Amino acid sequence: MNNFQSIVSHFKIEGKIQEISPLGSGLINDTYRIRMRDADAPGYVLQRINHDVFQNVEMLQANIEAVTTHIRKKLIEQGADDLDRKVLSLIRTETGKSYWNDGQDYWRIMLFIPRAKTYETVNPEYSYYAGRAFGNFQAMLADIPETIGETIPNFHNMRFRLEQLNDAVSKDVANRVKEVKYYLSEIGNRAEDMCKGEQLHQEGLLPKRVCHCDTKVNNILFDEKGQVLCVIDLDTVMPNYIFSDFGDFLRSAANTGAEDDENLDNVNFNMEIFGSFTKGYLEAARGFLLPVEIENLSYAAILFPYMQCVRFLTDFINGDIYYKIKYPEHNLVRVKAQFKLLQSAERHIPEMKKIINLYL
């Protein structure tokens, strides 16, 4: 707490602090809630930015400032109320910056959004609201004047992720390749098909747009009625194919099990969630989507379990250096669960296509 106190003291926060305690279940940054002595004050969120992952903190924070300022402006134009619950508010330091470096770690503070809920899974109704929210998010950011940088270069570039996997396999630093031969061959069989996005982009057929790029369910704040208040975790907002936001939400929300479920019988791709999310997303986004983007939404739905499987497998082979793990085999358990989800999603592709056409 003392150490936290001194970090927090560099930011312009109001009131006296009561307590600072861990918040959320993110796999990258460390997040804490700051409660105030005045129980009615919303308080703040303190985060230690993972500097290994986000190497350019200056760019990271500039992106988030640009995005939140732009969304706030759009919400005001739309006549929205309750703005502090609908867009993140960054707290500045004494010198006017939106982060603080204590000599080793980078820290930032945001206003805590009160009376908001996060979920690890959602029902079809909430998925519909989430679909609309991500469609609107992309629509609002379509005319952002600032250039949004790639905070993690090639973040959702499938070809690059496969290269990283190949690299990990050839180094085999943790001597784990022998354990994962089956998954490597299943991944290899699909590799060319899964790089379709990069292929289309290279041919000049598929645009990049400013996307959220980490739309897993627990990055959305819902209000008491299930309406989406706000999309959080803006670190990865960057230009990419719209497939990122569509696919990563479904990877988390349409999974009937957990991302790291040890019981693979729990893991299946839920088509009801797919249907309601797609309906909401297309209502908000069909006005600006190109035919090539719409035609490939079913590809997006399988791409993300696949990409996540590749990323978890790479980390497992590298000896668990990227994702937080809770036990030694955790990344391998995640690989298995994502692969099961992929197989289930693949079986539903024809049905997905029908549903997409229904909501056009």
Are 110 and 90 within 8 A, CB to CB?
Answer: yes
Give the Cα separation of 171 and 11 in Å (integer).
44
Binding partner of 308, given Mg ion, ligand GN1, none, CB within 5-8 angstroms per partner class: ligand GN1
Q: Which stretch binds Mg ion (CB under 5 A): 24-32, 67-75, 163-171, 306-314?
A: 24-32
Asked if 53 is part of the footprint of ligand GN1 (rule: CB under 6 A), the reply reads: yes
What the block records as the tokens of 213 is 């790029």
- State which residue has the least CB distance to ligand GN1: 27
37 CB neighbour count, 10 Å cutoff: 10
Q: Which stretch binds ligand GN1 (CB under 6 A): 4-12, 25-33, 113-121, 343-351?
A: 25-33
Closest CA to 305 of 327, 281, 334: 334
Binding partner of 315, given ligand GN1, Mg ion, none, CB within 5-8 angstroms per partner class: none
17 φ, ψ to 5°? -80, 135
Are 275 and 169 within 8 A, CB to CB?
Answer: no
206 φ, ψ to 5°? -125, 120
Closest distance to Mg ion from the beta carbon of 95 (Å): 28
Q: Which stretch binds ligand GN1 (CB under 6 A): 21-29, 101-109, 169-177, 196-204?
A: 21-29
Asked if 314 is part of the footprint of ligand GN1 (rule: CB under 6 A), the reply reads: no
Asked if 261 is part of the footprint of ligand GN1 (rule: CB under 6 A), the reply reads: no
Give the Cα separation of 166 and 169 in Å (integer).
5
Closest distance to Mg ion from the beta carbon of 165 (Å): 23
Closest CA to 29 of 14, 51, 9, 44: 51
Asked if 57 is part of the footprint of ligand GN1 (rule: CB under 6 A), the reply reads: no
Binding partner of 337, given Mg ion, ligand GN1, none, CB within 5-8 angstroms per partner class: none
- Whose Cβ is closer to Mg ion: residue 57's or residue 294's? 57
* Torsion angle of the four alpha carbons 43, 210, 81, 282, in this order, in degrees rounded to the nearest 10: -120
Asked if 233 is part of the footprint of Mg ion (rule: CB under 5 A), the reply reads: yes
Closest CA to 240 of 127, 148, 356: 148
Are 273 and 147 within 8 A, CB to CB?
Answer: no
Asked if 219 is part of the footprint of Mg ion (rule: CB under 5 A), the reply reads: yes
Asked if 219 is part of the footprint of ligand GN1 (rule: CB under 6 A), the reply reads: yes
Asked if 28 is part of the footprint of ligand GN1 (rule: CB under 6 A), the reply reads: yes
Interface with ligand GN1 (CB under 6 A): 26-28, 53, 214, 216, 219, 233, 236, 259, 308
